[in-house]
Amino acid sequence: MTDSNIEAPFDPRRILTEDIPLYLRGNLRQDAIAGLTVAVMGVPQAMAYALIAGLPPVYGLYTAIVCCTVAALSGSSSHLVTGPTNALCMVILSLTAHLPQKYGLSLLECILLLTLMTGLIQIAFGMLRMGGIIRYVSNSVVVGFTAGAGILIAANQLKNIMGVDIPREHAERFHEVLIKTLEKIPEVNPYSLAIGLGTALLVLLLPKISRKIPAALTAIGAATLLVYLTGWHDIPLEEWQVRVVRDIEPISRSLNIAHLPQLIRHPHYELTRELGAGAVALAILGLIEAASIARAVAAKSGQRLDFNREFTAQGISNVAGAFFSNFAGSGSFTRTAVNYQAGARTRMAAIFSAAWTALTILLFSPVANFIPIASLAGMLIVIAYSMIEKHRLALAWRSGMNSRIVLFGTLLSTLIFPLEYAIFIGVFLSIFFLLKITGRTDLTQLVPRTDSGFDEVPFNRAAPAPIVTVNMEGDLYFAAVEDLDYELQRALTPVTRVVVLRMKRLRAVGSTAMAILEHFWALLQQRNIALVVCGIEEELVKVMTRSGLRRRLGEQNIFYADNKLFQSTELAMARAMSIVEMERRRDEKTGQIAQAVTAVAETTARHLMTRHCIRFGHQHQLREAVWLLAEMARRTPAMETPSLFLQNKEGRLAGKLSVWRLVEEMARSLNLSEMKNLTDPEIGTRLRQNFQKPIDRIARTDLPEFKLETPLAQLLRSSVKNDLRVLPVCDDGRRVIGLISEHDLLRAIGKILEQTSRIAVTPTDRPQ
């Protein structure tokens, strides 16, 4: 009876002797209380949601009994409560409101057929193990559709609050509903309006007085009592009669709800075809709702869910419900949250809520018949307002332009088009932007550092070099490789001799990608440029072998992925350098290049430079710089004070940050008059006050650039003129390749002075 991530083998004796007694002692009471709490809130909701779908309120109760029980028995979530939901009911209304007039059939029979089709589609999703498909529907689609459905629900319930009639065929378009409702303002029933607004106010205000008060049940109960005592339900229609539940269809004290749908006994193929697309949309929306709320609650409870099983369970519940006078249901956000907060332990809590709902029909149906329709509409107005989740709308808005387009595209579609089309439009927009993002392979360039490792710079931003190393990440399927070969050529320069492609993080590599890479290899061959690939994993090896690219490249130019980071890249770079060296020697031998210029005798930056230097991103905070320099100071001699050279995203020199500058910035928060009374922890607290400051605001950025051939005289002059104790040495791409410290300059000066002081001293030069 209890849920577990690992199911034990079925043993009837263990169930009778262990599981049932254990459940009765441990979880029965808590599940029964949680189920009662859900039913108290869910009964008026279920009745109101049936109104949204255009059905009498009793059918909402039937759905809350049968659909909820079947889904709980066959699902995997311990807390999910399935039943009528506002968004699904709005879609049902949009799909079926015009059908009775068009085909001359009962609205209930059309909805039962739609429910059966929806359930079968959901079962197919589950059986085909398509539980992961929901991940490709973005949060913006759900938020936009829910908000739009909330607006439509509010617009469609205005007629019930006002106590006026509007034909059902005008329920599909928001502007049509609004116009028809405004035209009925002169016919407003003041009693209905008072009941509806009063119920809405009570539903809003009662939770602020006490969370323990069942707001919806109390508000509807008060409205029912008021109408019954005043007799507003019995006055003539023209004298502002208040319609109650029994005026639509009385609720009887009976659970004889089994019903074989007429459209199953006598199929109507034209109607079935018309409902097909709508059933798919309803199935997808129902699965999104169920998966979203089940995932949210499971994140809190720590339960592991099986979404394929959950999809199947939702489908089975709708198929079963079609034979018990149910309309399509799904996981309810509000009832599931209440179930979890009330302390539900197992799936039996949802079954208990269904049992309490059935008991309500048997015991309180005479009272339920006097519930005012305007009161249910007032509660729905509040629910519709809560569906417009402002914080989730704001989050989607701040998430970027793609999220904004999906959000408002879906929202506007719900107000302009039939709801089944709005769902498809939202899903299409979501998948469109997903494909747009994944439809382009991410390219960056790796530049070898002089000490060790690589700097990653934006594509086509590296300085010209004989070896071009391109890092490829992302998807490499047919849509992502269009013009990839020409895109890669942008990194080539006149001095390029070898291209290294790092393909470690590629996914979905297919035959189209191999054809494009083979074309790129051919283009390089025409320009006498070698191609070396590295980071090749097992799946990519198979594709390269089948396509013939592996044979064309040659095994000497292919380096396979290793568990050591950048191992294959380093090997590929060694291979590339050997190719460059062989070409250089061949060019020298054939006279295609001039002989190397003889080395200059003067001291230059090349002779003084230390290769080991600390490079750091210029977008970090003071806290990170302090930690890094403190760690480096522990590992370097006391005479060598480390400095940070800041680099931008392209790896180019962006500034310098010295230890003294860091100390100076942190010491700003110290008050000299208080220093005598501060303990070490208090000093540390003061020093941390500036830890969040970006280092690019305090770094020195007016640095001169020094090349390998910069002479000593210029180094000394710039050091004095610019008050620099550490000089950065850069390559042609303005990337730091080393440094010259004040100690290096002092040693060079000492060496020169020693050489020039070696003058022979004669006896006549000695003092007399």
Q: Which amino acid would we find at residue 167?
A: P
Q: What's the mean pLDDT in 740-756?
A: 80
| pLDDT exceeds 60 at position 188 | yes
Predicted TM-score (pTM) above 0.75: no
Task: Specify the pLDDT at position 16.
Answer: 52
Q: What's the mean pLDDT in 577-586?
A: 84
Task: Specify the pLDDT at position 685.
Answer: 80
| pLDDT exceeds 60 at position 21 | yes
| pLDDT exceeds 90 at position 69 | yes
Task: Specify the pLDDT at position 514.
Answer: 81
Per the prediction, the chain carries an average pLDDT of 82
Task: Specify the pLDDT at position 758.
Answer: 53
The span from the CA of 629 to the CA of 641, in Å, is: 9
| pLDDT exceeds 60 at position 548 | yes
Question: What CA–CA distances, in Å, run from 10 to 14, 16, 304?
Answer: 8, 12, 20
Domains belonging to the chain, first-starting first, are 56-432 (no CATH), 442-590 (3.30.750.24), 605-754 (3.10.580.10)
Q: Which amino acid would we find at residue 553?
A: L
pLDDT in tens, 282-337: 998 898 888 888 877 887 777 888 888 989 999 999 999 999 999 999 988 788 88
Task: Specify the pLDDT at position 20.
Answer: 67
Task: Tell me what percent of the residues of the chain surpass a pLDDT of 90.
Answer: 19
Indicate if the alpha-carbon torsion angle 205, 209, 215, 221 is positive or negative. negative
Helices (H), 417-527: 419-438, 484-489, 511-526
Q: Which of 161-170, 186-195, 213-222, 373-382 comes out lowest in average pLDDT?
A: 161-170
Q: Which of 13-17, 75-79, 439-443, 585-589 comes out lowest in average pLDDT?
A: 13-17
∠ CA(725), CA(730), CA(736), 5° rounding?
75
| pLDDT exceeds 80 at position 716 | yes
Task: Specify the pLDDT at position 768.
Answer: 41
The span from the CA of 533 to the CA of 514, in Å, is: 13
Task: Specify the pLDDT at position 6.
Answer: 43
Q: Which of 61, 57, 40 is nearest to 48 (CA)?
A: 57
Q: Which of 41-50, 262-271, 496-505, 563-572 comes out lowest in average pLDDT?
A: 563-572
Phi, psi for 472 (deg, rounded to 5): -110, 130
Task: Specify the pLDDT at position 135.
Answer: 67
Q: What's the mean pLDDT in 173-199?
A: 87
The span from the CA of 203 to the CA of 240, in Å, is: 24
The span from the CA of 383 to the CA of 347, in Å, is: 26
402 burial type by CB count under 10 A (0-12 exposed, 13-18 middle, 19+ buried): middle
